[in-house]
Structure 1
Amino acid sequence: MRYEILGPLRVVDERGSSCVKAEKLAVVLAVLLIRSEKVVTAEHLMTEIWGEELPQRATAGIHVYISRLRKFLHRPGKSSPIVTRPGGYLLHTVSDEFDVELFQQLVTEGRKSARDGQHVEACVCFEQALGLWRGPVLGELRPGPIVEGFVKWISEMRIECTELLVDSQLELGRYEEPIGRLSPLIAEYPLREKFHWQLMLALHRCDRRDEALRTYESARSVLDRELGLEPGPKLRELHQAVLLSG
């Protein structure tokens, strides 16, 4: 069985993929996955579903959702992956695949390859990691504090993975490849100076000097407008190098 949350929540097995359509049920499964192999208290599940204003039968509601999830995840001949523990519930994922864990593993392997100068292998790992994403984390699921914190963390990790991929592509002299990827990322994260630097370098190495200079001016403008800051030394040094190349 495979759990996937790097996109709309779904469970995949030999019979195909299944989605949890009931939102509260999906929230419970999402939290158990985010905290997999750790006990999640009933109180945390209640807060995630209902916030601070709990209904009168909130505890009974959690029991019902756990029971329904056990039925949903039941596979013939196997024990339920959801177990009751003192104070809460725990979801076992050791014997199953979980796309978040695979993503983290691939990023770790990619980092090691990049540190060792094996950038071809690093690119493969980073591209496979990014290929696991099917859309926004957990789709349109309404976030509570646990889900919201996780989404911010894993989304930041995705950005870092993209930066690492582009770094390895640049090390390999594959300057054309990152350009199409970086432009929409800069539009989405205009204050991420590293993306501006990477795009500027890629354009410069592709003999697109004017576009590289416009990239710098765009970065300088947005940093000044939004933060009241000048570009950092690395971006300024690259700008100077591009100017001198003319």
Structure 2
Amino acid sequence: MHLLIAAAGSGRRMGGDRNKLLLPLRERPVLAWTLEAALKAETVGWIGIVGQEIDRAAIEALITEAQPLAPAKPIHWIEGGSTRQQSVLRGLAGLPEEASHVLIHDGARCLAESALFDRCAQVVLEGEAVIAATPVTDTIKRVDDQGCITATPDRSELWAAQTPQAFAVDQLRQGHAEALRLGWEVTDDASLYERLGWDVKVLDAGPANIKVTTPFDLIVAEAVLSFREA
């Protein structure tokens, strides 16, 4: 199974001056935790890290440090684009010719466990596109531009989309080609499938698969890692 890790973000919402994936989490960069889990996944045999050129030296240093965890699994640098959508498209172009299925994972979801990669891989190898997700527990309100509530969706039908997301490579490339042709902009690959009327399954990732976006998320992530090691 081939895996693309999206690592071309920034530190704007984190309030930092650099890519948030390079910020320390328990004395290691956030991305190091993501990469370690991916390397330990039994189904993952090839990894591409899609990042910005400004971060290349730092990310390649992480690759060198992590590679001994799984020497037989190649890890490649791929230069990303200005948006996540463009970065995934470049990642798809960087896959080996033999790649038939791909996992796509946000590097900021550094608490994803290796078993989650394997569970998603199993579903896609059985012929279905799939995303990790978690049921919404809050009551969600739809609000207009005046800040007034307009609707309350049925919570039982709502899931928070996460990663990994897993797809057949040819179909995902087709979806991205349609997005380019029609001028669509999406924030995750499952949205392409949704717009095209293609089925995508959800797989419950559990409560810990958070995305590190703010300083508070770093505190939560540290607590989760400490709990796992206890």
Bin the TM-score by the shorter chain.
Answer: under 0.3
Structure 1-normalised TM-score?
0.23
Greater strand proportion: 2
Higher relative helix content: 1
Q: TM-score, normalised on structure 2?
A: 0.25
